[in-house]
C-alpha cells in the first residue's frame, strides 16, 4: 500500500540470488524481514542462468575461483557455506540435478525450481516480499535505516544491500549498491564488465570472418591464470568460455594470449611434422600440421596470417612460438549489456568478511555481486551469492 510506514528488524534490498537467500536465513532465525525488489518478478537472473537450468554451484569451489582486490576476503564466507550446503537444500526440495564438466551442477529441468525453492524458504521465514519497489532511497538516523520507495516507507535497524551489479540493465540491474556504499562513506572499486566477449578491430578485425568457428585452446590475460576451454569467434570478436574467463582479468590496452595447441605438451611441437629431418616444408605441410589439431577454417586462417618467414628451423620455431602464444589486442568488451557479471564493486576493505557488515556503519550489510568478489564461470558466482547471503543472514 503506498503511503504505508512500517517497522521491521531487517530490510533486504533486491530479490535476486543473494537477497532471497539472506532474507530466508534471517527470517528463519525469527527476524522480521522485509524484502524489496523493483522488478515485478523475483530472481530474474536466476531464471535465465545456465541456459534456463541454473548452474547453481560448483563442487570444486575454492577461493582461487574468485577475483577481488583482496583475494582473502571471500575465504570465511565460502568456508561457512559450501557447495554441499546448497546441494543439501536443493535435495531437500527434491530438485533433480546433474553434474556437467568441471564440477558444475545444473538443474535437470528448470531454473524456476531454484527460485521457487528460495521463495518457499522465504515463506518459512515469514519474509514479507514487496515487488515493484521502485525509487528506493535510504536515510539513516539514530541507529535506524529508513527506506522510502514506491510501495511505502519502512524502517529497520539492519539494512542488507543485495541489488547486484550493472550487468544487463534490461533485467533490472542498477548501480544502487555502489550509490549506497558511497552515500555511507564506503569505497567502490571501479565496476567493470566481466565474463564478457572481447571485441577485435583494425588488422585483427579480419578474424571475424571466422564467425562461428570454435576450438579448444588456452587463453590468458596479462594478470590472470590460464583457462583451457573453448574459444569461439563471433562477428565482433572473441567469445566462448575460455575468452569469457580471461575477460574478467582483462583491462583496456592489455593483450590476451592464446595457445592454439594446448594438447601438445612437453618436448612435442605443433610443427613437428615440418621440423623432422627431411620433412616436407611448404604451405601444404603447414596447413596439414595445423589441421591435425584445429578445425579447418581456423587452421587455414592461421596458416595464412601466421605463415613462417621461411622454412628454416629457426623460422619454423618462431612460427611455433607465435601459434602457441598468439597475442590478440582487444579493442574493448561487449560491455555490461552482454556481461554475465560485474567485477569490482563495494570495496571489501570496508566490510567484515565474516558478516558482510560495513565496519564503519553498524547495521549496514552488502552481499552478492555488488561486492568486489567475482567468480569464474561455472557456478561460482551463485556460490558467492549464497555464501555471502548466509554470512549476513546469520548476523543481522
Ligand atoms: P542479482 O542480479 O541476482 O539480484 C539483484 C536484484 O536486485 C535483482 O532482482 C534486481 O532487479 C534488484 N535490484 C537492482 N537494482 C535495484 C533497485 N535500484 N531497487 C530495487 N531492486 C533492485 N552465475 C552462476 O553462478 N551460474 C550461472 O549459471 C549463471 N548464469 C548466468 C547467466 C546470465 C545470462 C547472467 C546475466 C548471469 C549469470 N550468472 C550465473 C551470474 C549470476 O546470475 C549472478 O552473479 C547472481 O545472480 C548475483 O546475485 P545477486 O543476488 O548479487 O544479484
- Find the helix or strand (DSSP H, E) in which 333 lies: strand 332-333
Q: Which residues fall within 8 angstroms of residue 359, CB to CB, at 6 or more apart?
A: 350, 351, 352
Q: What CA–CA distance (Å, rounded) separates 89 from 87?
A: 5
pLDDT of residue 5: 80
Average pLDDT over residues 253-272: 92
pLDDT of residue 266: 76
Confirm if 164 and 41 have CB atoms less than 8 A apart.
no
Burial class for 386, CB neighbours closer than 10 Å (0-12, 13-18, 19+): buried
pLDDT tens digit string along 340-356? 999 999 999 999 999 99
Which of the listed residues 14, 51, 343, 380 should we mutate to test ligand 1's pocket, taking the one with most ligand atoms within 8 A of CB?
A: 14
- In which band, very low, low, confident or very high, does the pLDDT at 2 lie, cut at 50, 70 and 90? low
CA-nearest residue, atom 3 of ligand 1: 16
Q: What CA–CA distance (Å, rounded) separates 270 from 217?
A: 13
Nearest alpha-carbon partner for 282 in 301, 254, 310: 310
How many secondary structure helices (H) and strands (E) does the chain include?
12, 21
Cβ atoms within 10 Å, residue 110: 14
CA atoms within 13 A on the CB side of 40: 1
pLDDT tens digit string along 273-322? 999 889 999 999 999 999 999 999 999 999 998 888 889 999 999 999 99
Task: Evaluate if residue 1 carries a pLDDT over 60.
Answer: no
CA-nearest residue, atom 24 of ligand 1: 379
Ligand 1 binding pocket includes 341 (Cβ within 6 Å): yes
Ligand 1 binding pocket includes 229 (Cβ within 6 Å): no
- Domain architecture of the chain: domains with CATH: 5-193+335-393 (3.50.50.60), 198-333 (2.40.30.10)
Task: Evaluate if residue 4 carries a pLDDT over 70.
Answer: no
pLDDT tens digit string along 183-212? 999 999 999 999 999 999 999 999 999 999
pLDDT of residue 3: 55
Reported for 94-97, long-range contacts at CB under 8 A and 24+ positions apart, including other chains, are 97/56
Ligand 1 binding pocket includes 368 (Cβ within 6 Å): yes
Q: What CA–CA distance (Å, rounded) separates 258 from 302?
A: 12
Stated pTM of the model: 0.97
Confirm if 286 and 315 have CB atoms less than 8 A apart.
no
CA geometry: angle 56, 30, 111, nearest 5 deg: 20
Question: Over pLDDT 70: what percentage of the chain?
Answer: 99
pLDDT tens digit string along 129-178? 999 999 999 999 988 999 999 999 999 999 999 999 999 999 999 999 99
Ligand 1 binding pocket includes 237 (Cβ within 6 Å): no
Residue 358 DSSP class: B
Amino acid at each position: 500500500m503506498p503511503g504505508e510506514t512500517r517497522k521491521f528488524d531487517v530490510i533486504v534490498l533486491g530479490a535476486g540470488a543473494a537477497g532471497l537467500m539472506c532474507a530466508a536465513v534471517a527470517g528463519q532465525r525469527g527476524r522480521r524481514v522485509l524484502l524489496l525488489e523493483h522488478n515485478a518478478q523475483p530472481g530474474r537472473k536466476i531464471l535465465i542462468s545456465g541456459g534456463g537450468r541454473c548452474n547453481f554451484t560448483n563442487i570444486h569451489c575454492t577461493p582461487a575461483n574468485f577475483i577481488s582486490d583482496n583475494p582473502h576476503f571471500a575465504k570465511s564466507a565460502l568456508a561457512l557455506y559450501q557447495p554441499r550446503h546448497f546441494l543439501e537444500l536443493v535435495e531437500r526440495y527434491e530438485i533433480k540435478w546433474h553434474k556437467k564438466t568441471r564440477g558444475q551442477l545444473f538443474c535437470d529441468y528448470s531454473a524456476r525450481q531454484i527460485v521457487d525453492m528460495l521463495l518457499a524458504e522465504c515463506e518459512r521465514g515469514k519474509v514479507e516480499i514487496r515487488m515493484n519497489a521502485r525509487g528506493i532511497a535510504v536515510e539513516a538516523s539514530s541507529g535506524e535505516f529508513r527506506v522510502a520507495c514506491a510501495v511505502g516507507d519502512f524502517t529497520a535497524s539492519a539494512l542488507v544491500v543485495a541489488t547486484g551489479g550493472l550487468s544487463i540493465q534490461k533485467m533490472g540491474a542498477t548501480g544502487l549498491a555502489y550509490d549506497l556504499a558511497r552515500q555511507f562513506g564506503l569505497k567502490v572499486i571501479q565496476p567493470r564488465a566481466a565474463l564478457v566477449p572481447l571485441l577485435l578491430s583494425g588488422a585483427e578485425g579480419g578474424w571475424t570472418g571466422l564467425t562461428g568457428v570454435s576450438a579448444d585452446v588456452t587463453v590468458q590475460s596479462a594478470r590472470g591464470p590460464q583457462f583451457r576451454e573453448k574459444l569461439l569467434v563471433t562477428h565482433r570478436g572473441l567469445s566462448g568460455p575460455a575468452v569469457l574467463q580471461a575477460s574478467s582479468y582483462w583491462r583496456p590496452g592489455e593483450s590476451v594470449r592464446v595457445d592454439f595447441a594446448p594438447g601438445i605438451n612437453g618436448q612435442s611441437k605443433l610443427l613437428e611434422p615440418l621440423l623432422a629431418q627431411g620433412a616436407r616444408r611448404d604451405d601444404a605441410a603447414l596447413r596439414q600440421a595445423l589441421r591435425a589439431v584445429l578445425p579447418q577454417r581456423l587452421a587455414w586462417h592461421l596458416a595464412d596470417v601466421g605463415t613462417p618467414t621461411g622454412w628454416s628451423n629457426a623460422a619454423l620455431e618462431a612460427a611455433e612460438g607465435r601459434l602457441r602464444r598468439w597475442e590478440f589486442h582487444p579493442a574493448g568488451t561487449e560491455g555490461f549489456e552482454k556481461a554475465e557479471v560485474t567485477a569490482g564493486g563495494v570495496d571489501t576493505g570496508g566490510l567484515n568478511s565474516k558478516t558482510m557488515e560495513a565496519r564503519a556503519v553498524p547495521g549496514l550489510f552488502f552481499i552478492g555481486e555488488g561486492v568486489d568478489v567475482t567468480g569464474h564461470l561455472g557456478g561460482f558466482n551463485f556460490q558467492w551469492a549464497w555464501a555471502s547471503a548466509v554470512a549476513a543472514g546469520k548476523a543481522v
